[in-house]
Amino acid sequence: MGSKKRTPLIRHLINTLILLIIITIGYVCYTIVYDLRVRFINRSELNDLAGVNKEYAERFEHFVDDIEKESGWKVKIISGLRSREEQIQLKRDNPRNAAVNKSRHVLGRAVDINLYKRVGLTTLWLKKGNSKGSWRKTGVPEIANRYHLLWGGTYRNYHDPVHFEIN
């Protein structure tokens, strides 16, 4: 009697296990593709910056590499070089954004980055809305210092921890 009842239970356990393995493989594939896409975006942002000034672009590239090596966070460049038109539009959308003649993005001297990190099945993000303290804890502002990049987290009147620029 016992063996007849155990067989469906074992089959059920095996099916559950197979399902879990499929989900895990699916998730791992998704993260690999996601990270490759981010790398591609970062590469193209850095290439655009290099079109303006190679030395600046290299400095940002080393900065990004060091963050990924030392902090345990991955970098997604969300903005690099901007056209004058894009900056004028940003200023229109939010008057607190830099004017076109003041933005380092237009000159190819700034990047905005988000940081992300996977913990189990969740992804932690550090974005513009996060506190300066959370950003400081990652060690990224210190790495920026090493490359003589001014951190937007040090602005007095504007909260911009995603921004790093060559002054």
Residue 89 in tokens: 């539009």
Contact yes or no for 110/164 (Cβ under 8 A): yes
Q: Which helix (H) or strand (E) holds 5?
A: helix 2-52
Indicate the residue among 35 and 41 with the shorter CB distance to Zn ion: 41
Smallest distance from the beta carbon of 66 to Zn ion, in angstroms? 19
**From candidates 100, 149, 163, 166, binder to Zn ion by CB under 5 A:** 163
Indicate the residue among 6 and 84 with the shorter CB distance to Zn ion: 84
Among 3-11, 17-25, 54-62, 106-114, which window interacts with Zn ion (CB under 5 A)?
A: 106-114
Q: Is 112 in the site for Zn ion (CB under 5 A)?
A: yes
CA 126-127-132 angle, to 5 degrees, is 75
Q: Which helix (H) or strand (E) holds 159?
A: none
- Please provide the size of the chain in residues: 167
Among 13-21, 68-76, 107-115, 134-142, which window interacts with Zn ion (CB under 5 A)?
A: 107-115
Task: List interacting residues with Zn ion (CB under 5 A).
Answer: 110, 112, 163
